[in-house]
Structure 1
Amino acid sequence: MRIRAGSPGDIEQIATLHADSWRTAYAGIMPHSYLSRSLSGDKLALWHGRLTVPDPAAGLFVAVEEGVIAGFVYLTPCPDGRLLLDNLHARPGRTGTGIGGRLLRHALAWAVTEHPGRDVYLEVLRANTRAIAFYVRHGAIRTAERVCRFEQGFALPELEYTWAAQSLMTSGPSFTLTGQGPDPHA
């Protein structure tokens, strides 16, 4: 597996993986009607917008195995000075194999290099306990709780987790961009 920057040529694979990941991770959490209806089209539109006119300050990285995207991570700067880790997904059936841990370490190392001094945070649905356990294992600290309101007409409790800039700067080699070994915890 290798990690590389994402590109416009990856739009369809990323959108499909994103929709498939949501259908798996959020089954029983989000309404079935939403997950089974227009999710693929929504994700395709999202990634088309992000990658046809990319934000030069954002970071998109894909994990590729035998020409197929096995996972991806996307970070974007926010007006409050932090970086939002907006997406981290491994292909369903490949979770727990180290892909997520490697992508996360790569993304955090990129954040330290490209956006030094900025906290990195993410929002995760409170019911997504597997993801929460993963982020906590990788050093994230819970920093807020709120309700996420979806434009499709439903609301769910979500938590915010953060990696403080100072902790990222002092973490050293655990956030290396060149490490290629599997993470037994992801």
Structure 2
Amino acid sequence: MQIRAGSRDDAGRIAALHADSWRTAYAGIMPDSYLSGSLLDAEKAALWEARTTEPDPASGLFVAVDGLDVAGFAYSTPRPDGRLLLDNLHARPGRTGSGIGGRLLRHTLAWAAAEHRGRDLYLEVLSANTRAIAFYERHGAMRTDERVCRFDQGFALPEVEYTWTAKALAARDVRVDVRTE
């Protein structure tokens, strides 16, 4: 498996993986009517088309590829408050627990430390997503906030914020080549 920068050519495969991952990870957490409907597919397709057609040069999109298959992806972007948001980290359903997420996360942490020195990296995770919470805690993220996430589709769910401080990122053993792994 290789980790490389994502591109416009990956948009469709990333969008499909993103929707499938939500259907799996959020089953029983988000409304079934949303997860099973075509609206989710359309939203993810539009999101990834926009992100890859006019990419933000300060953002990082990384895909884990196994042959021609996109096995996972991570996306981080600067926020107005000076921090970086790890907005997406997904492994293909059925391949979770195989190390894909850990490799993508380590790659993203190394990229953040190298490309955005002095910035904290944070993420938001639904409180009911206990598997993801355990994963982030195992990888050194610290719980820094709790709030309610309001979705445009008309529902709200509690979420937790986790952070790797700039100091913690700088102290990590950053040997990953941020261009390719």
Q: Contact 1:143/1:160 (CA < 8 Å) preserved in 2?
A: yes
**Does the Cα contact within 8 Å between 1:82 and 1:119 map onto a contact in 2?**
yes
User: Does the 8 Å CA contact 1:106/1:176 hold for their aligned counterparts?
Assistant: no
- 2: CA distance between counterparts of 1:168 and 1:117? 9
Q: Normalising by structure 2, what TM-score?
A: 0.96
CA distance in 2, matches of 1:88, 1:176: 20
2:161 partner SS: strand
Where do residues 94-173 of structure 1 align in structure 2 (5 Å cutoff)?
94-172=95-173
Aligned residue number for residue 43 of structure 1: 44
The 8 Å contact of residues 140 and 161 in structure 1, kept in 2 or not, is answered as yes
* Paired residue type of 1:31: P
Structure 2 unaligned spans of 5+: none
1:5 partnered with 2:19: no
Counterpart Cα distance in 1 of 2:135 and 2:67: 26
CA deviation after TM superposition for structure 1 residue 115, in Å: 0.4
Partner of 1:184: none
- Give the unaligned 5+ runs of structure 1: 182-186
The Cα of 1:74 is off from its aligned counterpart by 0.1
Which residue number corresponds to residue 23 of structure 2?
23
* Partner of residue 66, structure 1: 67
| Amino acid across the alignment from 2:108 | A
CA distance, structure 1, for counterparts of residue 122 and residue 175 of structure 2:
19
Deviation at 1:178, TM superposition (A): 4.2
1:53 is aligned to 54
Task: Give secondary structure in 1 for the equivalent of 2:133.
Answer: helix
The one-letter code sitting in structure 1 at the alignment partner of 2:19 is A
Distance, in Å, in 2 between the alignment partners of 1:91 and 1:126 is: 21
In the alignment, is the contact (CA less than 8 A) between 1:82 and 1:121 conserved in 2? yes
**Number of the residue aligned with 1:75:** 76
AA matched with 2:176 = L
The one-letter code sitting in structure 1 at the alignment partner of 2:170 is M
Q: Across the two proteins, how many residue pairs are aligned to each other?
A: 179
Report how far residue 176 of structure 1 moved: 2.8
Q: Deviations over 1:79-108 (max 9, x none)?
A: 000000000000000000000000000001
- Computed over aligned residues only, the root mean square deviation of the Cα atoms, in angstroms, reads 1.4
